[in-house]
Amino acid sequence: MIRAHPLLAERPEALELAFRRMGLPTPAREYLLEKLPQYRLLLTGLTKVEGRFLKGLFEASVAPGREEFPVYVSGDPRTRLGSGLLTGRREQFERLISSAKADPQLAGLAEALARGLGSVAAPAPLTLGGRTFTFGARTHVMGVVNVTPDSFSEGGRYASPDAAIAHGLRLAEAGADVLDVGGESTRPRALPISAEEELARVLPVIEGLRERTQVPLSVDTTKAAVAREALKAGAVLINDISGFHFDPELPRVVAEARAACCLMHIQGTPETMQQAPHYEDIMDEVLAFLEEGVARAVAAGVARESILVDPGIGFGKTMGHNLFLLRRLGDLRVLGLPVLVGTSRKGFLGMLTGGKPANERLAATLGSVAAVAALGGADFVRVHDVEEARDALAVTDAIRAASDGGALYGTSKVGG
């Protein structure tokens, strides 16, 4: 599959500010903004067809005075699927996309370029139940409601329906944007349970929460049978740790209910995933896995704008893998979909903090939540401690959006 990875997206306003600080007059600033490249996309997965097209296009556009398309530098021609680097301005990329669309053989290239160019913007809004979530301004919070006797983080504390409902209501009061109800443990080495047992755990909780709160409800399940009944009971989002790779019926169930879904990456199963995680290129493999899940969802009839993706922190990853994924979350933006991340109380945080148990990892969790928000890589974070996470995100999101830099920035305030 062809993929366009954004390596650099110089915002025009950032360049404009740089030129102002250099003291350049308005005509010079406008000229440079028009001429300087603003985007760099790394293309991977190119076949000979796309390679010949790009090479011919750019060889024809190097004549003096012709700057129709981005600059193209090809990769190693000996590789089975080629790669290359494109550098140019938005309008040049838009012309390239139009040229590629004209040839049916280049549809994959046109789509990849459009997604790569669009990945520098916030994803499209997401509707869950009666609420619409917009992205880019703040990081949203999904609160965890575990209804399992063997939860790694809570040890069955909320295994009874009444306890789970009360806990979910507390999380809603604390500011959770979504409540995620789970009836099957997915901790490392966890064994699967039957759909009947999982339904017996989650349905009373979904029904109880739906009666008492308007917060959208998600159900953490990999089973079509569980999803079908959970959606009937009032859930609006299916959170599948398998990314639609375990149960082939699950995409159709989500589509028929016109529900949303979150597709997560996992290597192996919960029972086996932490035995020996290994990757050649973790970002490429995670992206390929998620793209496959998204394709299954869309083929079944799920609206693309109703899909979220999750890199699966702790699901078939070493501590190093987890940290690398968190640092490179922005790479998932190439999918053009909202990104959900769950680091809350996970084992790698315990390893980083001297072996602390799950119930002593709040500070470490907040550090990870603040970091992914600061990097702008997450649209949702899935946490156990909603109130504390909301406070941390309020500060981090405000810092990331800060713009009052004075008169040079056009934001000077009097008396502020």
**Active-site residues: which are they?**
346, 382
What stretch of H or E contains 73?
strand 71-74
In this structure, are residues 170 and 148 in contact, taking their beta carbons and an 8 Å threshold? no
Backbone φ and ψ for 281, nearest 5 degrees, come out as -145, 95
In 268-384, which ranges are E strands? 307-310, 340-341, 380-383
Burial class (CB in 10 A: 0-12, 13-18, 19+), 82: buried
Rounded to a whole number of angstroms, the CA Rg of the chain reads: 23
Q: CB neighbours of 334 closer than 8 A, spacing ≥ 6?
A: 3, 4, 5, 6, 115, 116, 119, 287
List C-alpha distances in Å: 17 to 33, 230, 375: 11, 51, 21
Nearest to 121, CA basis, from 12, 219, 229, 20: 12
Contact between 297 and 339 (Cβ < 8 Å): no
What DSSP element (H or E) covers 132?
A: strand 131-133
